[in-house]
Structure 1
Amino acid sequence: MIKLFTAWYMRKFSDPNAVTLVVILLCLFLFIAMFSSLLMPVFVAIAIAFLLDLPVNKLTRIHAVNRTTATVAVVITFIGFSLVGLLGLMPIIWKQSSNLLQEVPNMITQGKGFLLTLPEKYPDIIQAAQIETFINLVNDKLLEWGEVALKASLNSISDLVALMVYLILVPLMVFFFLKDKQDLVGYLTSFLPKERRMATQVGREMNQQILNYIRGKVIEILIVGAMSTVAFIFLDLNYAVLLGVLVGLSVLVPYVGATVVTIPVCLVALFQFGLTSEFGYVMLAYGIIQALDGNVIVPLLFSEAVNLHPVTIIIAVIFFGGLWGFWGVFFAIPLATLVKAVVSAWPSANEEELEASS
């Protein structure tokens, strides 16, 4: 057994480039695991910098503008569009969220009334005791959620202060990440060993993958959110903007997000229209949007991404989301692609070394 392990170790780790890659990945993993909560604004700034790097590069190449001027123009434009979007959407979302929260007790009352009629309609299938048990269980869960919401509201002041700090720090970091990109990358690579061919290979691949992923996700959120909002407004669904934004944001979590956001869309439509044709139209439109997203939008936007099996994506979402929360979920697919890139590069790198030596 020891000889077998030794032979495997010598075969896989005899290349110094492989050892360098493993050390880099372990250091990054430990660093992020230990300081992920403190580095949240840095992650946000890096994600935005990846998104804005492409227009900055195009300005510098096509219009012969120096990188500092291009960075200033792109960052100011991005902040302007973000402020217009937030100031336009936030009041509507806030108002609709407040109205929905006020209507929740009435919806719960209607739901209880409907459930209590089921034993009379279907006495052979549903018993009154079962309905009472289910209602008590729902009441207990609502109390738990209410306590969680109360604790969150008590912590909202400190969160608001942190948010104000982030709104200042993040744009500054984005600006310097874009402006001094080459200098920062060169400074970081100066600490790495010279034997880093595999790490460079994987890094270049992941740089392109993350760039495509972030850009594609932002476009997907905007398209799906806009389509959902327009469809809900056309069908006269209450809280159309709020639900449209939720549907757009649901694409951040593959498969799981679409399943979760179906619940509020279905409940709002059901309590507003009942089991009528209008309810069917809402669910049909929602189903069409989800089908277009999965079969048209995603293949077009992520055609350059490495193909991953749905089971792999779900496992990545669960694993990295459990480790790093929202950002683990957001970067689950690139991280899964990183693992795949490392596994794919490992034997090929060893084969190249063998061919070079022969």
Structure 2
Amino acid sequence: MRTRAIIGLLILGVLVFLLYSLREVMLPFVAGLALAYLLDPLADRLERLGVGRLAATLIILAGFVVGLIMLLIIVVPLAAGQIASLVNALPGMVSKLQGIIVERVGPVLQKIGGTDVVSELQSSVGSLVGQGGTWFLAFLGSIWSGSQALVSIASLLVITPVVAFYLLHDWDRMIAGLDGWVPPRHRDTTRRLAAEIDNAVTGFVRGQSLVCLILGTFYAVGLFAVGLNFGVLIGLISGFLTFIPFVGSLTGFLLSLGVALVQWWPTGDWLHIGLTVGVFLVGQFLEGNVISPKLVGDSVGLHPVWLMFALLAFGTLFGFVGLLLAVPVAASIGVVVRFGVEQYLQSRLYTSEEPVLLAEPEE
């Protein structure tokens, strides 16, 4: 048992080392694997309708490529323009927000602690904003550099559909081959664990993707109706980041609140500031009580804290490849840990009332 554990850990270490070493060229292949995994149920459904596997694969990937091209032609240029405008306007908005905070809060603090407190407040606000922006840009930069050092966008768009085509066409055959490698005495347990991992990954990815789409649309429409500058873009960003629990809503809320204060506080328009806050309060209520329970549920077994750690850690270490692998790896580890705890609770080490010797005494 000890020898097999050591061999398993060595194999795992080699795989992690190879993944880290080849992270800059693995993006199209990992993306193709993820695409084939997500589209396999649709291919199986078409097969049940009488469509051959090859024809089903061609139909699905053709539709995906057409949709992706339309997205790149129509949506991406508009979003890129809005993002560029927001990035250019962000330093000015931060300066105005800093001035508003010092102007409104400064007199109160000056009465309490004197002039030094006001200067310290101004310095602290600027330092906090600067450090937050630096950290966020560094995180995005690590993802960008990790995914684009050797692989360009063009190669990603060309290689990923090809990889997805071959994997999707041979998916059932590959799964059957992997199943045949498992020793017969362990197949039932392995299949059960694989089914639990599959349910956790697909349940979360598909459910959370719908949650992102619904909330992104709600925030974009709500902030646009309120009249917030860059409201549509902030809403879409918030919806996209909702894939990471709490991060999307918190990021969108802070960003929209800062823009709302700069836009309406100097004129004393508290109504629109309150409406901006109300959009996110309503969105959080719907997400927590209606949308997420219906679409994601509690059966996926991915705790939000564990998921946030996995996404941030894998994204920092492996770039965009890490973001693609974070959810399945986190789900797999969660399933294996729960299985280990279940075996422990059923073992003599836990249930026996007598002391259990872990090793034979030496004579």
Fold match (TM-score > 0.5): yes
Pair 1:75-2:61 in alignment: yes
Matches for 1:275-294 after TM superposition, within 5 Å: 276-294=270-288
TM-score using structure 1 length: 0.77
Q: CA RMSD in A?
A: 4.0
Instruction: Note the C-alpha offset of 1:75.
Output: 1.2
Deviates more, 1:52-61 or 1:42-51: 42-51
5+ residue gaps, structure 1: 1-9
Does the Cα contact within 8 Å between 1:41 and 1:169 map onto a contact in 2?
Answer: yes
**In the aligned structure 2, how far is the partner of 1:36 from the partner of 1:159?**
10
Does the Cα contact within 8 Å between 1:212 and 1:304 map onto a contact in 2?
Answer: no
Does the Cα contact within 8 Å between 1:20 and 1:193 map onto a contact in 2?
Answer: no
Partner of 1:298: 292
One-letter code aligned to 1:72: L
Partner of 1:40: 27
5+ residue gaps, structure 2: 349-363
Matches for 1:81-92 after TM superposition, within 5 Å: 81-92=67-78
Partner of 1:101: 87
Measured at CA, do residues 243 and 26 of structure 1 come closer, stay the same or move farther in structure 2, by a change above 3 Å?
same
Measured at CA, do residues 46 and 295 of structure 1 come closer, stay the same or move farther in structure 2, by a change above 3 Å?
farther
Does the Cα contact within 8 Å between 1:216 and 1:301 map onto a contact in 2?
Answer: yes
Deviations 1:226-260 (A, max 9, x none): 11111122222221231122011111212233323
Q: 1:234 aligns with which of 221, 225, 230?
A: 225
> Helix, strand or coil: the match of 2:110?
coil
**In the aligned structure 2, how far is the partner of 1:279 from the partner of 1:32?**
47
Instruction: Note the C-alpha offset of 1:56.
Output: 1.1
> Helix, strand or coil: the match of 1:296?
helix
Does the Cα contact within 8 Å between 1:47 and 1:214 map onto a contact in 2?
Answer: no
Q: 2:155 aligns with which of 160, 165, 177?
A: 165
Q: 1:340 aligns with which of 334, 358, 362?
A: 334
Instruction: Note the C-alpha offset of 1:30.
Output: 4.7
Partner of 1:223: 214
Instruction: Note the C-alpha offset of 1:98.
Output: 2.3
**In the aligned structure 2, how far is the partner of 1:183 from the partner of 1:41?**
22
Deviations 1:166-207 (A, max 9, x none): 000011111111111123334555666556424343223222
Pair 1:123-2:110 in alignment: yes
Measured at CA, do residues 194 and 169 of structure 1 come closer, stay the same or move farther in structure 2, by a change above 3 Å?
same
Number of residue pairs aligned between Structure 1 and Structure 2 = 337
**In the aligned structure 1, how far is the partner of 2:120 from the partner of 2:194?**
57
**In the aligned structure 1, how far is the partner of 2:9 from the partner of 2:133?**
47
Deviates more, 1:136-145 or 1:318-327: 136-145
Q: 1:243 aligns with which of 229, 234, 251?
A: 234
Does the Cα contact within 8 Å between 1:20 and 1:196 map onto a contact in 2?
Answer: no
**In the aligned structure 2, how far is the partner of 1:287 from the partner of 1:80?**
37
Deviates more, 1:213-222 or 1:331-340: 331-340
Measured at CA, do residues 84 and 258 of structure 1 come closer, stay the same or move farther in structure 2, by a change above 3 Å?
same
Instruction: Note the C-alpha offset of 1:37.
Output: 3.5
Deviations 1:30-82 (A, max 9, x none): 54344334322222122222221121111111x20001111111111122223
Measured at CA, do residues 107 and 148 of structure 1 come closer, stay the same or move farther in structure 2, by a change above 3 Å?
same
Matches for 1:176-191 after TM superposition, within 5 Å: 176-188=166-178
Partner of 2:40: 53
Does the Cα contact within 8 Å between 1:225 and 1:245 map onto a contact in 2?
Answer: yes
Partner of 1:5: none
Measured at CA, do residues 291 and 46 of structure 1 come closer, stay the same or move farther in structure 2, by a change above 3 Å?
farther
Deviations 1:202-234 (A, max 9, x none): 223222322222222322221111111111222
**In the aligned structure 2, how far is the partner of 1:146 from the partner of 1:50?**
31
Instruction: Note the C-alpha offset of 1:159.
Output: 6.1
**In the aligned structure 2, how far is the partner of 1:353 from the partner of 1:287?**
47
> Helix, strand or coil: the match of 2:152?
helix
Does the Cα contact within 8 Å between 2:314 and 2:322 map onto a contact in 1?
Answer: yes
One-letter code aligned to 2:92: N
**In the aligned structure 2, how far is the partner of 1:318 from the partner of 1:283?**
27
**In the aligned structure 2, how far is the partner of 1:72 from the partner of 1:30?**
35
**In the aligned structure 2, how far is the partner of 1:35 from the partner of 1:70?**
32
Partner of 1:3: none
